[in-house]
Amino acid sequence: MAGPWIEYCEQANPCVLAEVRRLGSTFCSARRVQVSVVGAAEKHTLVWMAERTPAWINSDHLTALGLTGQIMAGVCYALAAWNKYYLVAAIACLALNWLGDSMDGTLARFRQRQRPRFGFYLDHMLDSFGAAVLMGGLALSGYINPWIAAGLLAAFLMLSIQSYLATYTLGEFHLSFWRLGPTEIRILLAAGSLALLRWPMVLSGQFRLFDLGGGIALAGMALMLVCFTVRNARQLYQEEGLR
């Protein structure tokens, strides 16, 4: 049902209603916040690469490359159940995912060809699909308990929801948490994949390496989720709390 203000506009002056809708549809990009371990070096590298990217390559191509890399990484992890050297292929796919996922926005901004609503929506929906395939591949690899892989996916999606809600309500889009962003996660995953080649089991063979690492990561993500939810809710309450 239409609210009282909309009903009043419709009855009083249709032109006023059109103006309200026009102003309401105005999109304001949120402030991007990224404070991560490799963030500064990564930014310089991406700008350097954007300056040298051929004109026939655009941000859509890079978005497709990033998604393809993430999907192929998941496929390689699943194939690693039969041949452990698919772990090396998975690392190469993670590198392609980084290139596409990190470069698409940088290239669009460098060329002044931003599409903030389309880019924000599509990029993060594709991230969700890609994460599901990646975690699914890990779950099938035999190197991690499927329940831990499912928990990591759920935690990632919940952190993503928290980040998107904070973007809408606070006007800040955080790309990293506690100095850890997507690039740092890829580096840790790649390093862990290399370690799997030699040490699939740890602590005297009692635990799988990725079960231990995944459990620690899951606990950390849960703590992040609680801390950032409390912090943001407190800020919003202080700004809008009834007196």
Higher-confidence position of 138 and 7:
138
In a domain, 6, yes or no: no
In a domain, 64, yes or no: yes
In a domain, 27, yes or no: no
Whether pLDDT at 96 is above 90? yes
pLDDT digits (tens, 9 = 90+) for 8-33: 444 445 554 454 455 445 556 677 76
Q: What is the CATH number of the domain that holds 71?
A: 1.20.120.1760
The SS3 of residue 3 is coil
In a domain, 4, yes or no: no
CA angle 64, 70, 75 (to 5 degrees): 120
Whether pLDDT at 41 is above 70? yes
215 by Cβ neighbours in 10 Å (0-12 / 13-18 / 19+) ranks as: middle
Residue 83, CA atoms < 13 Å, CB-side half-sphere? 8
In a domain, 10, yes or no: no
Mean pLDDT of 50-75: 96
pLDDT digits (tens, 9 = 90+) for 213-232: 999 999 999 999 999 999 99
C-alpha 107: how far from chain center: 18
Q: Measured between alpha carbons, how far is 173 from 100 in angstroms, rounded to an integer? A: 20
Whether pLDDT at 188 is above 70? yes
Instruction: Please give the structure tokens belonging to residue 207.
Output: 């635990």
Q: Measured between alpha carbons, how far is 30 from 169 in angstroms, rounded to an integer? A: 10
Q: What is the pLDDT of residue 177?
A: 79
C-alpha 85: how far from chain center: 27
Q: Measured between alpha carbons, how far is 81 from 6 in angstroms, rounded to an integer? A: 59
Q: How many C-beta atoms lie closer than 10 Å to residue 53's C-beta?
A: 17
In a domain, 17, yes or no: no
In a domain, 11, yes or no: no
Q: What is the pLDDT of residue 24?
A: 47
In a domain, 210, yes or no: yes
pLDDT digits (tens, 9 = 90+) for 71-90: 999 999 999 999 999 999 99
Confidence class of residue 181 from pLDDT cuts 50, 70 and 90?
Answer: confident
Mean pLDDT of 159-180: 86
Pairing between strand 201-202 and 207-208?
A: antiparallel
Looking at the 3D structure of the chain, how many domains does it have?
1
The mean predicted confidence, pLDDT, of the chain is: 87
Residue 226: domain span: 57-240
DSSP state of 56: T
Q: What is the pLDDT of residue 213?
A: 95
Say which range, 69-83, 85-99, 158-172, has the weakest mean pLDDT: 158-172
Q: What are the residue ranges of helices labelled H in the chain?
A: 4-12, 14-24, 39-51, 59-79, 86-110, 116-141, 146-170, 182-196, 209-240
Q: What is the pLDDT of residue 175?
A: 75
